[in-house]
Structure 1
Amino acid sequence: MRSTRAVTATAAILSAIALSMSACGADEKDSADSGQVISELKDLLPQKVRDSGVLTIATDPQYPPCDFTNESGEIDGFNHDILMAMAPRLGVEIKQTAIAFDGLLPGVQSGRFDGAMECITDNLERQETVTFVDYAYATKSVITTADNKHDIAENPLTTCGLKAGVQTGTEFVEDADLFTKNCVAAGEAPLEITNFPTAGDQNTALQSGRIDFAFTNTATGVWQAKSSDGDFEVIPSPLLSRTYVGIVVDKDADDTAQALLGALEAIIEDGTYDKIMAEWDLQDIALDEPGINLATQRPLELPTTCGSCDS
């Protein structure tokens, strides 16, 4: 991860993030450079967006390197950089607004926000109410403290009977349920699952020993381990799938989805996207062919119960 934007992603900082804060940096003010506007894409945006010149995208900035609040108090992350690269193609300013994760999708559905972006997993259940413009892959892992006193390993049965943390409203809720089903099917004790409203609360519980491990985006977990000087250990698992993540828009906002997709394709074609992913050391999750609702259009293999999964 790039040192110029290093942030201490400890529980204390994560918990201190003000959810009502909006980021409007200088790069946003310059983001609507008319020399790069693709008029066909701008014409697809809602009239209110074209009139105001502002597209509002909500996020929960507690997931570095996806989204976080940097030392200057501004929203940062590779998602931010992608949005700022897309904005000139759309001919509007993109403003990010910080709210709690479980309010992102409802905020888009209600029309409060034009979209949401926070490494949100594209899945079939969410596609029933919103549309995804997929821009990257995501992998998931479990995270525990560096001492790993329960000897958690890639074998998912090593988590049976332990106290697990998940954040409310995330796909990790379903992941934890799959782990429990896997334990029970093997005759082992189920997970003791606790839901937390924020990632900061979950991290505090992990550090204090209230939970034994938690579920996390792999890139976020690796960032957390590095920025805490090795206080955490990130462990992959065969029960955790590779998924697509996307920018969320309302299910009826087909034109907005097409505009965002076109802007993504433009920054991929000119190399900007690859530069952003390389700058954040995220080449392994780069998506060269973005698309709409790829969990349906180009589904990835989903994990199933497998006991020790030959670990």
Structure 2
Amino acid sequence: MIATLSLLAAAALLVSGCGAEASTPKDNALLVPELNKLLPQKVRDSGVLTVATDPQYPPCDFTNQSGKIDGFNHDILMEMAPRLGVEIRQEGIAFDGLLPGVQSGRFDAAMECITDNLERQKTVKFVDYAYATKSVITTSENKHGITANPLTTCGLKAGVQTGTEFVEDAELFSKNCKSEGKDALQITNFPTAGDQNTALQSGRIDFAFSNTATGVWQAKASNGRFKVIPSPLLSRTYVGIVVDIKADDTAKALLGALEAIVKDGTYGKVMSKWELNDIALDKPGINLATERPLELPKICGSCGS
């Protein structure tokens, strides 16, 4: 399981850069030829599938103390590689460049606990492999008394990372505050998760929005200096590997590899290793936000109190 780190070490992991990280398929016995044939010819010719990530979201993706990309997404990809019969190479970039990088053809795919939603499905396709829950994160002192009641955040300074679904979440919180005659959130956008975390630690913001698994990891890594708070205004979602909207065969290949590791138990072992069984998705699929929609949160006033 993830080693406990000092606050400074955790921060270093969250803000450090990284190069490419790759897998090499070693076991031809695991190859599923039908899946390999679905991959683009350029991928089959090169033997490399390039997957972009923003490695600042442990335990999804992060740069470990050896300077290599790590996380449960990394482990899933490494197990998918031999089924596809290609090397999977991860490259670290900023989050807001992930989807454009796939759309432009710079990357074959992107994977970084990216939420599958209807708006994003207009431009890309998702191969969903897990659930995600979201939470509010603040310092352990919680000096403003934030609780699961979303009205306790009204008027406070909130941090979100540019390009993430948390931008829309913060807007929903503000609308909820206004519906009760309270002040909206004072929202600051940050280019990276590291910048957001620094602002939270320094007191420039009062709280931030986070993937729950990432928030829990951060709280553990900092010896309890952060507090993770659930909210009924933050939904459970699907997260998926992103491919170009026209890349139907690539999506089918990735889905087939996921189904293979689910069926043989490898996927379950990865999720157990990272203590993420509660977000495991036993039936991966394509564009599940459309095909198997989950309930979306609505303005609810003081719900959660």
Could you say which TM-score interval applies, normalised by the shorter chain? Answer: over 0.9
Count of aligned residue pairs for this structure pair: 304
Matching residue's letter, 1:61: P
SS in 2 for 1:10: helix
Select the residue among 281, 289, 292 that pairs with 2:283: 289
| Contact 2:137/2:227 (<8 A) preserved | yes
SS in 1 for 2:35: helix
Which structure 1 segments of 5+ residues have no match? none
Match of 1:97 in 2: 91
In the TM superposition, residue 7 of structure 1 has moved relative to its aligned partner by 8.4
Q: Deviations over 1:233-272 (max 9, x none)?
A: 0000000000000000000000000000000000000000
1:209 aligns with 2:207: no
Matching residue's letter, 2:75: D
Matching residue's letter, 1:46: P
In the TM superposition, residue 181 of structure 1 has moved relative to its aligned partner by 0.1
Matching residue's letter, 1:90: L
Matching residue's letter, 2:71: G
Q: Distance in 1 between matches of 2:13 and 2:107?
A: 26
Q: Distance in 2 between matches of 1:237 and 1:94?
A: 36
Match of 1:135 in 2: 129
Match of 2:258 in 1: 264
Match of 2:292 in 1: 298
Q: Percent identity?
A: 76
Match of 2:152 in 1: 158
1:13 aligns with 2:7: no
In the TM superposition, residue 289 of structure 1 has moved relative to its aligned partner by 0.3
Matching residue's letter, 2:150: P
| Contact 1:225/1:233 (<8 A) preserved | yes
Q: Alignment RMSD, CA only?
A: 1.3
Q: Given the two structures, how large is their TM-score scaled by the length of structure 1? A: 0.95
Q: Given the two structures, how large is their TM-score scaled by the length of structure 2? A: 0.97
Match of 2:21 in 1: 23
Residue pairs, 1:49-68, within 5 angstroms: 49-68=43-62
In the TM superposition, residue 33 of structure 1 has moved relative to its aligned partner by 2.6
Match of 1:33 in 2: 27
Q: Distance in 2 between matches of 1:280 and 1:250?
A: 29
Q: Distance in 2 between matches of 1:12 and 1:287?
A: 31
| Contact 2:10/2:222 (<8 A) preserved | yes
